[in-house]
Each structure stands twice: as structure tokens, then as C-alpha cells.
């Protein structure tokens, strides 16, 4: 009976662990990106971890940057995380792992090369054309033709549609 109780207690000690919530952040990133992009899209919830082995003592130091990079790099268009939760993991007594976990929603920048077509709902800033330049682009097209082309253009924001409409109609 004593041997069984000792085995149960010993297995509980070796299999137990602890995860401690260290920080909550609204936005976090380890990447350089343009804050004025205006083409950010909220992505899926992801998790990144950096763990090190423990054999009597830790064999290294877990790195939060590595954990955050692993989470962000789950999507090639992601530049950061929102609603971030940082946790410290300790699943070791004499043997096991010790680490850091970063969890958050991806912040995806649709303005990056190769990312625009994936996010049709993303806001695209209007292209600023002056009236003479816009008329030079299509000098032979009538207003009706240009309005028909504008109506058939997919993915325009309301502001961009209004700007182009005013340009075609000559309203400034």
C-alpha cells in the first residue's frame, strides 16, 4: 500500500505543472511595420511558444521574442498581435520543460505585397488624381461609360467610390 501511494504521489509531482499569466496587452509586435497603413485586418487567434528542457536545472532561458515571432509568423501577412496574453510555463520538477507562451489575434497588413487579394474587405486608401490627370487617363470615354466602369469596379470603399464619382462628374 505504501509503495502504491508513493508511486501515485511521485507520478503526480512529475506530471504536474503550472502556467502563470504574466501580462495582457492590447497590441504587441516584434516586427517593424507602418502604423499609418490603414489596411489592417484582424486575423485568427494564434499561439506561439518557446520552451527549454529541464534536466535537474533549466538548460537555457526561454525568450518572449521567439514566442511572439512564432505566433506572428503563422501568417506571412501578419505584422503583430492584438489582445495579447503572455504566460509563463513551468512543467518541470526534476525533468520537463520551462517556457513562455504568447497568444493573440493576428494583425494582418493587407498593404504588404501579395496580401491585398486575400482581404477584399480591407480599407484601401484612395489614389489621389487631379481632375486633368483623371481626364487624361480616359479622354475619349464619355461620362456614362466611365460611370458604368465605376459601378462595375469590385472592392471599392464608399469613400473611394464617392471620390471617383465626383471626379467623373467634375464636382470638386
Q: What confidence category does residue 146 fall into, taking pLDDT thresholds of 50, 70 and 90? A: confident
What is the model's pLDDT at position 42?
Answer: 87
- Antiparallel, parallel or unpaired: β 95-109 and 78-92: antiparallel
- pLDDT at 68 > cutoff 70: yes
What is the model's pLDDT at position 105?
Answer: 94
Query: Residue 42 pairs with which residues in a beta bridge?
Result: 107
- pLDDT at 67 > cutoff 70: yes
Where are the domains positioned within the chain? 16-118, 131-169
Distance of alpha carbon 1 from alpha carbon 22, whole angstroms: 41
Q: Share the mean pLDDT of the chain.
A: 78
Q: How many CB atoms lie within 10 A of CB 68?
A: 24
Distance of alpha carbon 168 from alpha carbon 164, whole angstroms: 6
Q: What is the percent of the chain with per-residue pLDDT over 70, rounded to a whole number?
A: 79
Which pTM value belongs to this model?
A: 0.59
Cβ contact 109:33 at 8 Å: yes
Distance of alpha carbon 86 from alpha carbon 128, whole angstroms: 42
What is the model's pLDDT at position 40?
Answer: 82
Q: What confidence category does residue 91 fall into, taking pLDDT thresholds of 50, 70 and 90? A: confident
What is the model's pLDDT at position 103?
Answer: 95
Higher pLDDT: 56 or 140? It is 56
Q: Which of 92, 78, 75 is nearest to 18 (CA)?
A: 92
Residue 52 makes CB contacts below 8 A (sequence gap 6+) with 58, 59, 60, 61, 62, 97, 98, 99
Cβ contact 63:50 at 8 Å: yes
Average confidence (pLDDT) over 113-140: 52
Amino acid at each position: 500500500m505504501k509503495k502504491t501511494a508513493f508511486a501515485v504521489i511521485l507520478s503526480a509531482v512529475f506530471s504536474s505543472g503550472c502556467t502563470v499569466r504574466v501580462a495582457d496587452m492590447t497590441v504587441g509586435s516584434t516586427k517593424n511595420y507602418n502604423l499609418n497603413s490603414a489596411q489592417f485586418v484582424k486575423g485568427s487567434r494564434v499561439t506561439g511558444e518557446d520552451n527549454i528542457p529541464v534536466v535537474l536545472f533549466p538548460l537555457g532561458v526561454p525568450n518572449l521574442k521567439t514566442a511572439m515571432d512564432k505566433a506572428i509568423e503563422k501568417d506571412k501577412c501578419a505584422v503583430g498581435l492584438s489582445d495579447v496574453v503572455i504566460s509563463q510555463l513551468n512543467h518541470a520538477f526534476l525533468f520537463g520543460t520551462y517556457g513562455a507562451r504568447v497568444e493573440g489575434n493576428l494583425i494582418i497588413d493587407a498593404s504588404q505585397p501579395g496580401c491585398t487579394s486575400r482581404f477584399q474587405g480591407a480599407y484601401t486608401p484612395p489614389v489621389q488624381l487631379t481632375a486633368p490627370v483623371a481626364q487624361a487617363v480616359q479622354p475619349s470615354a464619355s461620362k456614362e461609360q466611365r460611370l458604368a466602369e465605376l459601378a462595375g469596379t469590385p472592392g471599392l470603399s464608399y469613400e473611394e467610390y464617392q471620390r471617383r464619382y465626383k471626379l467623373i462628374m467634375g464636382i470638386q
